[in-house]
Amino acid sequence: MKRALTLLLAVMSAGCAYYNAMWSAERYAKDARRAERRGQVAEARSQWAQAAVKAERVAIRHPRSRWADDALTLQAEGLARSGSCDEAGDVIKRVRETVSDRVLLERVSLVDAECALNARQPVQAQAALAPALASRDESRRSRAELLAGHAAAALLDYDAAVTHFERSHETAARPALARVLITADRPTDATRVIESLTGVEYATDRPDLLTRLAGTAGPPAASTALDRLLARGKRIPFQEQSRLLIADADRRFATGDYEAAAERYQRAATVAPAATSEAGLAALGTQRVLLTGVTGRAELKPIDSALARLTMEPGAGAAKRLLDLVRQVALIPEAPAAGFRAAEVARDSLSAPALAGSLFLAVADRDTASIYAPKALVAALSMLPDRRDSIVAVLDARYATSPYTRAFYGEASVAYAAAEDSLARDLGVQIARTTVPLAGRRVDMPLPGPRGPQLEDVEEARGAARGGGRMRPASRPAPAAGRDRPPTPAGPERP
């Protein structure tokens, strides 16, 4: 009797342990699904990993129990959705070979498809999804539609991808739909989807989608989508609203649309909570826009004062860097090389074309015999298109034989390369020299690095002077690789 009682207690204890382990695995899976709905990807993966561990213990210790198939299926789900598809492969295969329950096979078809997508095998993913797409369960069918959408998008079948994403009720389906619409060059439809993503679960999707939309349809399209999103998303936190507006302003600034950028920076400053890095970045953006209209050193004083105040606010790093550049330009140089360098900083780092143009002219006026003078005049042409005729007249009258003037008129020469070599030495750029001179080479080429203007500056100025096109008065793009001037200080980091 005692022996029988002991055996009964052992069986009951094993049953309780088995039940507790399975219950724990299911609880972790439930928490993982909840985290996925909230857009908490890292948390969901952690919970799925825990579910896989618990389920594996049940499958190993109780392989003949009535819940063994459930445990094996949950183990496959946990491994796959925690990012361990390599380990999940064998478990998925065992489920397909040993399990006959339709519901469990539908569940494993989802993780099989997910792993196929991770392995960039969209055709295999589509084949695996057949049972789940025909499921009677709405949640499994909805997830199958999401995965089928990703598979179709990977195969460039955008129409099918849109259809699948629209059928899915998964949290990730709406952002995925917006992305495929952007890729399919349907910005109007994409905007309608983006403006509906007002929930907190889409916080990480919103900036990415607006950036993608700007890249394909242009910054104005992204601005329109953002305005509509903010009009509907009254519950989007103010700090996030200000970050989205600052990013939008940065995009408009980068394309030279300074008026739109100023409006976005001011709006961001209005919604940003006080004493936050967002408030400081919005105010910094306003100063960056003001710099684009500065025409002389005297106009830098109020900007200097504003930036000095911003260096005392949260997130002051960018303000300090910009203030340092402004003060470099504000100093009256003692030598032509320093003046030329200051003009380049104004042009390349401060995006202040009018100021850069005036500084280039100052270099030419201060020492008319300097080797920098004709080069500075050519550089000023692209910054000050309204003074083109007078600058060209000075080039013709004073520097007719200069290699820079001859290059301006399309006459490339060895003297041009020699002049660039001399300027590189003057500015402290190391010159790359060959041990044995190559046949026909008369000058050594400087090492790549920013300085300017290079031949493209000459071509641009010459084209404008001949009436062949409108010169760009706005900010210049970053110097291309191979430019042979010493590195100018980096501009302020984009917020």
Question: 277 Cβ partners below 8 Å, 6+ apart?
Answer: 314, 315
Residue 226, pLDDT score = 97
pLDDT of residue 18: 56
Other beta carbons less than 10 A from residue 93's beta carbon: 13
As a three-state string, the secondary structure of 99-123 is CCCHHHHHHHHHHHHHHHHHCCCHH
3-state secondary structure of 25: helix
d(CA 317, CA 74): 49
Buried b (16+ CB within 10 A) or exposed e, 444-470: ebbeebbbbbbeebbbbbbebbeeeee
What's the confidence (pLDDT) of residue 473? 39
Measured between alpha carbons, how far is 112 from 80 in angstroms, rounded to an integer?
8
Give yes or no for a contact between 461 and 382, defined as CB atoms under 8 angstroms apart: yes
pTM here is 0.75
Can you give the pLDDT at residue 454?
A: 46
Long-range contacts of 424-432 (CB under 8 A, 24+ apart): 424/451, 424/484, 424/485, 424/486, 426/337, 426/371, 427/337, 427/340, 427/341, 427/451, 427/485, 427/486, 428/486, 429/484, 429/485, 429/486
Q: Shortest CA distance to 26 belongs to which of 57, 48, 59?
A: 48
Neighbours of 337 (CB within 10 A): 18
CA nearest neighbour of 199 among 156, 154, 228, 229: 229
Q: Which two tokens stand for residue 402?
A: 């200069």
d(C-alpha 118, C-alpha 291), whole Å: 47
Residues with Cβ within 8 Å of 128's Cβ and at least 6 positions away in sequence, in order, are 109, 112, 113, 116
Question: Residue 446 pairs with which residues in a beta bridge?
Answer: 431
Q: Bridge-partner residues for 429, per DSSP?
A: none
109, 297, 313, 325 from 291: Cα distances, Å: 59, 11, 20, 11
Q: pLDDT in tens for each of the 495 residues of the chain?
A: 545 444 433 444 444 455 577 778 788 888 888 887 777 888 888 988 888 888 778 777 777 777 788 888 888 888 888 888 888 888 888 888 888 899 999 999 999 999 999 999 999 999 999 999 999 999 999 999 999 999 999 999 999 999 999 999 999 999 999 999 999 999 999 999 999 999 988 999 999 999 999 999 999 999 999 999 999 988 899 999 999 999 999 999 999 999 999 999 999 999 999 889 999 999 999 999 999 999 999 999 999 999 999 999 887 899 999 999 999 999 988 888 888 889 999 999 999 999 999 999 999 898 888 877 898 999 999 899 999 999 999 989 998 888 888 888 888 777 777 777 777 776 665 443 333 333 333 333 333 334 444 444 444 554 554 444 444 434 433 333 333 333 333 333 333
Six token digits for residue 248 = 């939008």
pLDDT at site 483: 37
Per the CB < 8 A criterion, the answer to whether 199 and 232 are in contact is no
Answer for the pair 174, 202: CB distance below 8 angstroms, yes or no. Answer: yes
Q: How far, in Å, are 354, 456, 459, 474 from residue 383 at the CA level?
A: 6, 14, 14, 8
Q: Which burial class, exposed, middle or buried, applies to 300 when counting CB atoms under 10 A from its CB (0-12, 13-18, 19+)?
A: buried
SS3 state at 361 = helix
User: How far lies 169's CA from each of 31, 32, 34, 356, in Å?
Assistant: 18, 17, 14, 55
- SS3 of 343, please? helix
Query: Residue 340: what are its φ and ψ, rounded to 5°?
Result: -65, -40
Query: Cis peptide leading into 453, omega within 30 of 0?
Result: yes
Looking at residue 469, its pLDDT comes to 43
DSSP, residue by residue, 366-405:
H-TTSTHHHHHHHHHHHH-GGGHHHHHHHHHHH-TT-HHH
Torsion of CA 396, 401, 406, 411, to 10 degrees: 140
Q: Which two tokens stand for residue 143?
A: 């997830």
What is the rounded radius of gyration, in angstroms, for the C-alpha atoms of the chain?
A: 33
Q: How far apart are CA 111 and CA 86, in angstroms?
A: 12
Beta-carbon-side half-sphere exposure of residue 121 (alpha carbons within 13 Å): 11
